[in-house]
Chains A and B, each alone.
Chain A
Amino acid sequence: AQSVTQLGSHVSVSEGALVLLRCNYSSSVPPYLFWYVQYPNQGLQLLLKYTSAATLVKGINGFEAEFKKSETSFHLTKPSAHMSDAAEYFCAVSFTGTASKLTFGTGTRLQVTL
């Protein structure tokens, strides 16, 4: 069965520092992979997605993620954190033929400090 693991429920970085949020998945078939962001009291917004094209995917707000099949990982990065990046981030995986069902990780709350 497919699953998604996000390492670290809370991550704190200084403004201007590198952001690295980790996501690993288990799958026996090629997945589609997504990162979503949730700001307080809002719904989820798509940051970026991997759908078997380029392994390095660029998203909104300066975020990017790299699909590494050998490591079954899809980590999210941003070179320089901004205070407005403080939010909860969810990694999700989907598989073909599953009516686009997504399996979500448990989320990582990113705190950005001055």
Chain B
Amino acid sequence: GQQLNQSPQSMFIQEGEDVSMNCTSSSIFNTWLWYKQDPGEGPVLLIALYKAGELTSNGRLTAQFGITRKDSFLNISASIPSDVGIYFCAGHMNYGGSQGNLIFGKGTKLSVKP
């Protein structure tokens, strides 16, 4: 089945640093989404991307839909303590019999540097 490779698996941040994570796939997607999940809660939608090459911002977050439609990245600028959590990429395709489901990566866990 389709898989999304998300990297890095985990990273430590210091307040004020910029953070970057990415997601790659062997399949083409027509939508990329980025979610953040806090412990014990459901994922919260951060950014949705619909066109190859699209660059979209949401406050300090910026995400891009790769030209090949097989990858996406998320940047967080000037990180703050509440950015800690797990970030998931998710892809959607409207073909191959799949109408509804999102395919998720395994997540990037952001923690505060000790």
A binds B: no
Question: Which residues from chain B sit less than 8 Å from chain A, CB to CB?
Answer: none
